[in-house]
Amino acid sequence: MRMLAVSVLVATCSVAATAWIAVQTTSGAIDKQQDRLLADDTLLLDTLTGYAATHKTWDGVRPVVRDLARRTGRRIALTTQTGALVSDSAPRPDGLPGRAWAVIDPLSVNRADPIDPRATGPFRLTAAEERTLNAYALRQVRCLREQGVEAAVVSTPSGRPRIRTFTGSDDRRAAACDGTALKEPVPTERVALDALDVLVAGCLKNTGLDGVRVAPDFSWRLVAAEALPLREGAERRIPACVTEGRKALLKSAVAPPARLFVGSGETAVQGFRLSGAGIVRVVGAAGLVLALAVGVSVLAATRLARPLRALTDAAQRMRDGGSALVPVTTGDEIGQLTRTFNDMAVHRDRLEEQRRVMVSDVAHELRTPLSNIRGWLEAAQDGHVPADEDFLASLHEEAVLLQHVIDDLQDLAAADAGELRVHPEQLEVGELVSQAGAAYRARAESAGVRVAVEAPREHWIEGDPVRLRQVVGNLLSNAIRHTPSGGSVTLRVTADSGLTTIEVADTGAGIAAEDLPRVFDRFWRAEKSRSRDTGGSGLGLAIVRKLMEAHGGAVSVASTAGAGTTFTLRLPDIHRSRPTMS
């Protein structure tokens, strides 16, 4: 009892002293910390957004990330939208938080104008144009000052100066100074504005609006209107179309969107003041300390058991397939156990995701050669194809292709890292595409689609015949699947300017313009409702792009909705005729 009494006395004195100190210091400290964290948040977003707005890629961002980490005392990491690491300030990255702190996109900055003003792209003036406009601006400022209007020249990120007045922009005395020359677009802006006008016109198609012209400050005016009646709210679409057109022009001039992960310190501490509620909290804390002095053993046991129960519940959720992460609330042995458990859960989820991806890859990539083998065998069983040497050779060829596809699936990780192995040899490209067309002709005929091959003979290139056969086969399979009965698919080979071009053109439904930039994205499909049997897993075109990159070539797509799609493969033209073998 004496020990308990002394403990209660000490606890009471400690609570009183702590409460007094907290009242004197906590609020000020918290306010300062909040201000610092807000300033750091602004610095992070502004610096990284500015970098993205003035660079086409994130390749050189590492020094910027490290400097921001040093200045803010936080761990800072950037990844692509697909999760690939761009830069990390941690010397030994040990995993990122589950959710991104922000998305860095200079074309979407959550402002009245969603485009960061530092993203200038084709609107950036040349040095000569900038000097000319600055001369106009200085002449305008001198004129305004002579009229009693205080003004100054303000530079903008594009290099175009603007006049800032300090006595009111609507001052009538400013009307005496002619600023027309400063408002006219220079040649660089004219080219970019002409392109922007075309994009805006395309966005406003079928609205009854025509002749929208955009000024260098991105304001707009309506020059003319068609005879058609304007749709309701048509003019309200113009600002949105101007913004979308600017984004289209700037997309290639800025870095792609990136996800920003910020380590400890990103959550601001909530400050308090000694109000009535604050006094209640202090009294409550004092009562808690007194209760701890009496029931320390029970509460210690409860504190020890709570995280263990949380771990038990998480293990149960893991068994049932749910989320298994547990908040880390302590830094002791229980906290270390919780962090280890979370790492194990994340690793398990990653392995499960890899397993699902591998199953999808196998289902997609093995379907085509297996379907070919089955088709040839069924044709032989029905007596449509004689089981001769050519037939057996075709089956053997498809079996070899099947084996190579399985090997490709094992190399997917290397493909994503740009290390896909190829085995180049000299091959005749006309024979390659002819074989691909023959392999798929039976499937095309059953679908009512005509396959045509236009290829020169004796045109030799250097490449991996199995890989290139896989590329052409993927494109040909997709073209047949998306071409209605009565349509056609054409395989065309041309050579020009040191490049060999293979085109796979169909007369199908085509691809929407807004979907074209994403057709080569892994696991992406324009029609989300399309089943795997008719639409594939969305991996084939991604593999085509990786294989072409491994050959030093490229793939592109052009499509018109309702008129068809053309995929173009470009390979280095090593030989125009078969070389003499030593």
Chain segment 44-77, per-residue pLDDT in tens: 888 988 898 889 999 988 999 899 888 888 888 8
Whether the pLDDT of residue 449 is over 90: the answer is: yes
> Comparing 43 with 276, which gets the higher pLDDT?
43
**Concatenated DSSP letters of 255-274:** PPPEEEEE-TT-SPPPP---
Please give the pLDDT value at position 25: 56
Mean pLDDT computed over every residue of the chain? 78
> Comparing 268 with 23, which gets the higher pLDDT?
23
What integer is the mean pLDDT of 462-472? 90
**77 exposed, middle or buried (CB, 10 Å; 0-12, 13-18, 19+)?**
buried
Please give the pLDDT value at position 164: 86
**Concatenated DSSP letters of 47-61:** HHHHHHHH-SSSTT-
Residue keyed to tokens 């220079």: 186
| CB atoms closer than 10 angstroms to residue 10 | 12
What integer is the mean pLDDT of 1-11? 64
Whether the pLDDT of residue 433 is over 70: the answer is: yes
CATH code that applies to domain 420-572:
3.30.565.10
CA separation for the pair 527, 546 (Å, rounded)? 23
Whether the pLDDT of residue 285 is over 80: the answer is: no
Whether the pLDDT of residue 31 is over 90: the answer is: no
Residue 90's pLDDT band, with cuts at 50, 70 and 90, is: confident
CA separation for the pair 135, 143 (Å, rounded)? 12
Residue 167's pLDDT band, with cuts at 50, 70 and 90, is: low
Percent of the chain whose predicted confidence (pLDDT) is above 90: 10
Q: Which of 303, 306, 307 is nearest to 337 (CA)?
A: 307
pLDDT tens-digit map of 477-507: 889 988 999 999 999 999 887 789 999 999 9
Taking only Cα atoms into account, the Rg of the chain, rounded to an integer number of angstroms, comes to 34
CA separation for the pair 156, 161 (Å, rounded)? 6
Distance of CA 332 to the CA centre of its chain: 39
Instruction: Indicate the DSSP class of residue 546.
Output: H
Whether the pLDDT of residue 169 is over 70: the answer is: no
Please give the pLDDT value at position 281: 63
> Comparing 182 with 569, which gets the higher pLDDT?
569
Tell me the three state secondary structure of residue 81.
Answer: coil
Please give the pLDDT value at position 375: 83
Residue 35's pLDDT band, with cuts at 50, 70 and 90, is: confident
pLDDT tens-digit map of 341-363: 888 888 888 777 766 766 766 67
As a whole number of Å, the end-to-end CA separation of the chain is: 104
Whether the pLDDT of residue 242 is over 70: the answer is: yes
Please give the pLDDT value at position 579: 41
According to DSSP, the β-strands at 258-262 and 76-80 are antiparallel
Percent of the chain whose predicted confidence (pLDDT) is above 70: 74
CA separation for the pair 553, 551 (Å, rounded)? 5
Please give the pLDDT value at position 34: 75
CA separation for the pair 399, 210 (Å, rounded)? 58
Please give the backbone phi and psi of residue 264, each rounded to the nearest 5 degrees, phi first: -60, 145
Show Cβ contacts of residue 33 under 8 Å, excluding neighbours closer than 6 positions.
268, 269
Please give the pLDDT value at position 491: 94
Show Cβ contacts of residue 73 under 8 Å, excluding neighbours closer than 6 positions.
265
**Concatenated DSSP letters of 91-105:** SS-----SS-SEEE-
